[in-house]
Structure 1
């Protein structure tokens, strides 16, 4: 497949001169944050870039304003949708590129400084660009365009100071919006998982697919799975299997029902398949489990009776 690093029709690039960057880094503002490169790639079909850790000296912000792309980082390949952004930390191997058939349009900035890590924390996976109704820059693209227009004519300390201040504003918006969003999302996700667990327990007798469970809480399968694992520590399917086996144990302990009567009550039409899963899960067949349980109860009852007789 064709791979292109740059050279797209309508692209814009500004690479600040090294001498200007070094001079600005001595400025009070430049010590905290400074830009090295900024660009815009429209309709970036076949766009692809890979960097090893040794060649990743800057933090890299990419904002996808249209189309789709992907980010490969920390051993995972993640989809980047329209109006999403991410920031790659410095010193990390990574790759990213445009999606086939739906090429992305991206604004990007390479930056560094003492505050770069602070503003980048938590943004190393693609996420939605927040909207701040209080900002005079309603559209985040305006901020990029402001930086472009400031730096395209010259790279004096004054121009770089203003461009950096605009970028500070941009980072401040996404940082503050993300803090409030994380707290509200955590509460929302906890409620979603509670609803999911209740749904599972009430429908153990039904055939529940991962899609069924995700649709019940109006989420995509991938997002539902991700927040479920984060909060419960295992996948929805594994947790559902655990609930089914626990319910089966209850029936084996508390009723005289046969295995072929219990299996449909915990979501299995085939008693043999149910028995295999039960045996794999508990290392005992349903019959062995019941016999062991009865033997334990008999021993406990006999022991208690003997103690009572001796006391008399």
Structure 2
């Protein structure tokens, strides 16, 4: 068996949770990575051995953690990290890099944050199932995008349930209900002329309070989320259909083509027409060792 498995996910058009890269490695003694900051969440689960994580907390201070088998660690977007395998008992780990509109909520539900990046499980059974899902993803990169995303959701389910804190179970229930109601309303009405007031009203909340709990949970404002959701749907239509730019804009809630093109360019850095020309066919990126 090789000492390293590494794959890059070929499709990034999943809205709630996207998969970026994943793998498994039995590290050489003192093997290190970093210091570096990542663009997405990366969770490492340590199967055997031990190592050291040096991670910046929310105040920008570098904290050192010893991480051993049965534990894990989360790398947070924009935070600098270095991790080093032990000299005598180097770790073997599997990892998954993910992100999306639900990522922040999932990680927080598990009780992890830049101030608490180390994963501890209260259930050996759930932890084992989580590891099995991570290894399945790592060993089955040839499967379809939807197949791998399905197993990513299973991994995240076991991840949350094995690590979620009592505090989140008690305090998060009402807030979670409001956020789920809001997300469901957006998913069903994004193509219509809806406002943030409309979304707040569906939850029975005033706009100010709704905006605060939405941002605290999702990590972006309701307006940013709505625009991002619409543009992701637009990108999917540009990629897989022959609909005109105007028809696609109208399908995602922008009857004015100019307004749609401007919003799309703000998110993707290019016009819808240019994005379609560049992305009409999916190009698989060659693996790059992590």
TM-score relative to the length of structure 1: 0.46
Q: Which structure is larger by alpha-carbon Rg, 1 or 2?
A: 1
**Bigger RCO (CA 8 Å, 6+ sep):** 2
More helix per residue:
1
More strand per residue:
2
TM-score relative to the length of structure 2: 0.49
